[in-house]
Structure 1
Amino acid sequence: MTEEELLQQPEDAYMNEEQKAYFNRLLHQQREELQNHIDSAVEALSQYESSSDPADMGSMEEQRQSHLRMLEREKKLLAKIDHALHLLALDEYGWCEQTGEPIGLPRLLLRPTATLSIEAKERQERLDKHQRKD
């Protein structure tokens, strides 16, 4: 099934077996690509050499810290992908964790790890923004 075919299905076909299989393949593919990238980044981090020049040491440390931050973000994404795959196994994938409403195919295609509908996510962001102001 292609993305276009997925979007052309009727609303009452939401999260049918074909759609779940599509997202299962998509999530597994993204997981594999991300895991390969994490593995190569960890390998690259282990290749950093020490230098006696303070300027080189500072530059290398800055690059290393940047790589570590990127790795941390990617590991969080990996956990989200694993959570999405777990939801798929439970037949709960594609449904908003707050409202129980469909998240929607367009949103899931853009962010396969989404667990909230657009409305619930906007509400959460407004609440977070309000709490940060206080």
Structure 2
Amino acid sequence: MTGILSSEQQAILAMPPEAYMNSQQLDFFLRLLSHERSELIAHIDYLKTQLERSEQHGDEADKALREEELRLLFRQIDRESRLVPKFDAALQRVKNGEYGYCRETGEPIGLARLLLRPTAELSIDAKIKQEMVEAQYRK
């Protein structure tokens, strides 16, 4: 997603509240989720090809630099791989008719939030509450 809203995104945001998660919006988010998931998988595959680049020659500094690059690649692959199930779950919620509604409160998550984070499962209020509880357990 870019910082500028497309005409389709603007049209969706301009819809009245009673049109929330109508067929046009569900179709848009299904396409958005599928597209972002495909891009994520392609990026993970690209990162994996970077792992296969093997540079065994060079001095100790070159080898240390390559080890650091590999560590960062593994970390990025791990982080991005954890997003794939979130996209799968969101796509399943679209198919089940549950997409766009908070899994804790059942209230609408909101179009603006879903445009920014299409895999969101919680409304802003529920997410803030969850983060506050998590912060208390970390102390």
Q: Within 5 Å, which residues of 2 pair with 1:1-134?
A: 2-51=8-57, 53-133=59-139
Q: In structure 1, list runs of 5 or more residues that go unmatched.
A: none
Shift of 1:51: 3.1
Indicate the percent of aligned positions where both proteins have the same amino acid: 45
Counterpart Cα distance in 2 of 1:68 and 1:48: 15
Q: Helix, strand or coil: the match of 2:136? A: helix
- Deviation digits for residues 78-124 of structure 1, max 9, x if unmatched? 22111100111111111101111110100000000000000000000
Counterpart Cα distance in 2 of 1:72 and 1:48: 20
Counterpart residue identity of residue 3, structure 1 = Q
Shift of 1:50: 1.9
* TM score, norm. by length of structure 2: 0.91
Q: Helix, strand or coil: the match of 1:103? A: coil
Counterpart Cα distance in 2 of 1:33 and 1:48: 25
* TM score, norm. by length of structure 1: 0.94
Of 37-46 and 115-124, deviating more is 37-46
Q: In structure 2, list runs of 5 or more residues that go unmatched.
A: 1-6
Aligned residues: 133
Counterpart Cα distance in 2 of 1:98 and 1:57: 49
Shift of 1:52: 5.6
